[in-house]
Structure 1
Amino acid sequence: MSLQERKTHMAGDAAIYIKSRFAVCTGIQVTTVWMRNNGNPIGTSTFALYIRGTVKDNDRTIRYEPCSPRCSTPPPKKTGVQR
């Protein structure tokens, strides 16, 4: 499931996109309003986060992989010894 496919099916008010029993997606958009000490707003920032859940064949474990709109694939998996 590509990021573009997730964005297309999550547009509007969709809370979840189920492609198949092996691939589902959900997402959230967060907007922060920045304010001065006197309470006057001075700006906003927004980010979106998509979460892909996958299930491999002959397995019942769901693997969740976050991916922001800036990446086309999930972050690489860590390998080797972690120190």
Structure 2
Amino acid sequence: MFKTTTAATFALAIALPGAVLAEMDANGDGAVTMSEFQDAYPDAEAGTFSAVDTNADGALSEEEIAAAIDAGKLPERES
């Protein structure tokens, strides 16, 4: 039972950031812009996008979103 639960949890953790990215990425270009981020997180503080955008390219990647969720900078979104 433990192995099944652990495997399922691990699979979800891997899939979650991609699912979050797809949900937030309104134009489907593989990155989340500031306006897409604001639509997804309207109550986020002003500096949150910049804090999550660790490479400062003006868009959030799947990796940046995953790291922000893991670090508690972003809450996990409910579907």
TM superposition score category, shorter chain reference: under 0.3
Higher helix share: 2
Higher strand share: 1
Whichever of the two has the greater Rg, that structure is 1
